[in-house]
Amino acid sequence: MNHNKPYFYQSFAIIVLSIIAFLIFKQFLPRKIFPEAVVASDNIVVDSLALEAIQAVDTIATVAVEDTLPDKKVVFKKQKGIQYPSENFDDYKGYQHLMAFYEKLLQLETKEEGKVRIAYFGDSMTDGDLIVSDLRSKFQDRFGGEGVGFVTIVSESATARATIKHEFSNNWKTISYLNVKHPESPYGVSGQVFFTKHDTVNPIWVKYRANRFKNLLSLNNPTLFYGKSNNREGKVSVITGKDTIVKSLEGKKTLNTVAVSPYDLKAFRAEFTATDSIPFYGFNFDDGRGVHIDNFSSRGNSGLPISIFNTSLMQAFNKELDYDLVVLHYGANVLNYGTYNYNWYEKRMKKVVKHIRECFPGVAILIVSTADKSTKYDMEMKTDSAVVPLALSQKRYAVQSDAAFVNLYLLMGGEGSMVKWVEEVPALANKDYTHFNYRGSQKIGTLIYSQMNQGYEQYKKMKGITQMMSKMPIVIKKDSLKRKTDSTHAE
């Protein structure tokens, strides 16, 4: 006699009843039973200011906030005789606010005068110089300029970056604005500050090598940036092949620079001695002409930490680097806080933009919205419900802050586009349904450049430049204006 049969039928009946009960109550369950919590892990870092901001929200709304702008029509004020046509809020781009930037580009294109510099702040979407490298390439191909721009001492994405080979010793201390509000010395323009650890045995070093990318074939005019310190004994030794150049580090000013070589280099190793207490920021590489774009990406960044930049130090950086445009490309780390109400983010980012203008007087500002992101609903990957509300808030603070705006969500295709990018053959995005791969980043860089260029071409047309340029003779200039690279100074 089999005593297990009653238990079998009993178990089977329980399973059947459970399935029926689930199907009945399913319609009453939320679409996301377990929301994606914001937690830090080895691969995900969320900045402390964003965590504090969301915790300060008294009531978390469960529905998207309606557009609170009093007028759907955005009308621009005439500047220097130029006034872009008014725009509907839904289609807002805000080219009017890039006029000063466009004028600098125009001087480069028509007279080969001046130079243009862009600070591109972002999160993991631009990690490893993705997106930014393609934007840089397009600007430099058209307007001139060589060099990868500002590169930090230590970088979490160094091994993933193709536009420069970057290595460093493990005896550096890194302090980031993602998790420390009050550092012992103010943060540099990258949002980080670096100190050498006391080490009497192992050398403290950093090494850079130019890769074989067009316009990035050399480390142009390598210049070290470091902060104020009472230490007058510090030195940096720059080693290139058999040559060594030793430079003293005095650190008397808020921001100090030292050109570590009179030549453009292919590679070098910098060794630091007796540099305790000296705050270091990074090296700048540019040829002093054309367009340069610095990539300041930080994984897990919401954009809010920029609000703690030291104004005096940033103005000193701006005096050295002379920024014309600041790009704020955030969103991926702001999604999924269990809310569709991003008023808290909108208000705080308006303060960030105001602070940027204090730090970099006269700079134009461009906001790049969140891209599409997919989440599983009812066993199907779809656009996350928080994407559109966040992009709407980003547009609102762009309009209210007199900043230009790129709606990356719509540029890449809108609803369901991330799924398409992941399933494309070959794929344009990763299986996390959030980040673009190398091919996708190239496409995104092109899309952002195309929108910026659309506004520039419109600017030229309003100034009557396009017709004039079409009548200008084509002049091929000798390459004598370019900086010469001493090929013997390769490592």
Rounded Cα distance between 424 and 371, Å, is 17
**38: pLDDT strictly greater than 50:** no
> What's the confidence (pLDDT) of residue 206?
98
**341: pLDDT strictly greater than 50:** yes
C-beta of residue 358 within 8 angstroms of C-beta of residue 399: no
**348: pLDDT strictly greater than 50:** yes
> What's the confidence (pLDDT) of residue 442?
97
Least confident of 4-18, 34-48, 196-210, 383-397: 34-48
> What's the confidence (pLDDT) of residue 14?
65
- Tell me what the mean pLDDT of segment 455-461 comes to: 97
Identify the band that residue 486 occupies on the pLDDT scale cut at 50, 70 and 90. very low
- Tell me what the mean pLDDT of segment 105-110 comes to: 96
Provide, rounded to the nearest whole percent, the portion of the chain with pLDDT above 70.
81
Least confident of 36-40, 232-236, 310-314: 36-40
Beta bridge partners of 294: 119
- Tell me what the mean pLDDT of segment 184-206 comes to: 96
Helices and strands of the chain, counted as H and E runs: 11, 20
Q: What is the full DSSP assignment across 423-451?
A: HSSS-SB-TTSSSB-HHHHHHHHHHHHHH
CA-based angle 52:58:61, to the nearest 5?
A: 105
Identify the band that residue 49 occupies on the pLDDT scale cut at 50, 70 and 90. confident
Where does residue 91 rank: exposed (0-12), middle (13-18), buried (19+ CB within 10 A)? Answer: exposed
Indicate the angle between helix axes 311-321 and 343-359, nearest 10 degrees: 60
**474: pLDDT strictly greater than 80:** no
> What's the confidence (pLDDT) of residue 491?
43
Q: Please tell me the pTM assigned to this model.
A: 0.86
> What's the confidence (pLDDT) of residue 32?
42
Check residues 30 and 134 and name the one with the higher pLDDT: 134
Identify the band that residue 41 occupies on the pLDDT scale cut at 50, 70 and 90. very low
Q: Is 290 left (phi over 0), alpha (psi -120 to 50) or beta?
A: left
> What's the confidence (pLDDT) of residue 23?
57
Identify the band that residue 61 occupies on the pLDDT scale cut at 50, 70 and 90. very low
**97: pLDDT strictly greater than 90:** yes
Residues present in the chain in total: 491
**19: pLDDT strictly greater than 90:** no
Rounded Cα distance between 171 and 185, Å, is 18
The per-residue pLDDT of the chain, averaged, comes to 87
> Could you read off the pLDDT of 459-468 as tens digits, one per residue?
999 998 765 5
**153: pLDDT strictly greater than 60:** yes
CA-based angle 403:401:417, to the nearest 5?
A: 55
Least confident of 63-77, 273-287, 375-389: 63-77
> What's the confidence (pLDDT) of residue 5?
53
**444: pLDDT strictly greater than 70:** yes
**43: pLDDT strictly greater than 80:** no
> What's the confidence (pLDDT) of residue 130?
97
> What's the confidence (pLDDT) of residue 52?
72
- Tell me what the mean pLDDT of segment 442-470 comes to: 89
**87: pLDDT strictly greater than 70:** yes
C-beta of residue 213 within 8 angstroms of C-beta of residue 170: no
| 381 Cβ contact partners less than 8 Å away, ≥ 6 residues apart | 374, 375, 419, 433
Identify the band that residue 192 occupies on the pLDDT scale cut at 50, 70 and 90. very high
> What's the confidence (pLDDT) of residue 490?
44
**471: pLDDT strictly greater than 80:** no
Check residues 269 and 69 and name the one with the higher pLDDT: 269
> What's the confidence (pLDDT) of residue 71?
60
> What's the confidence (pLDDT) of residue 72?
84
Residue identified by tokens 């000063």 is 100
Where does residue 82 rank: exposed (0-12), middle (13-18), buried (19+ CB within 10 A)? Answer: middle
**89: pLDDT strictly greater than 90:** yes
| Domains contained in the chain, CATH given | 37-145+290-466 (3.40.50.1110), 150-287 (2.60.120)
> Could you read off the pLDDT of 162-178 as tens digits, one per residue?
999 999 999 999 999 99
> What's the confidence (pLDDT) of residue 65?
45
C-beta of residue 406 within 8 angstroms of C-beta of residue 368: yes
> What's the confidence (pLDDT) of residue 161?
96
- Tell me what the mean pLDDT of segment 99-126 comes to: 96
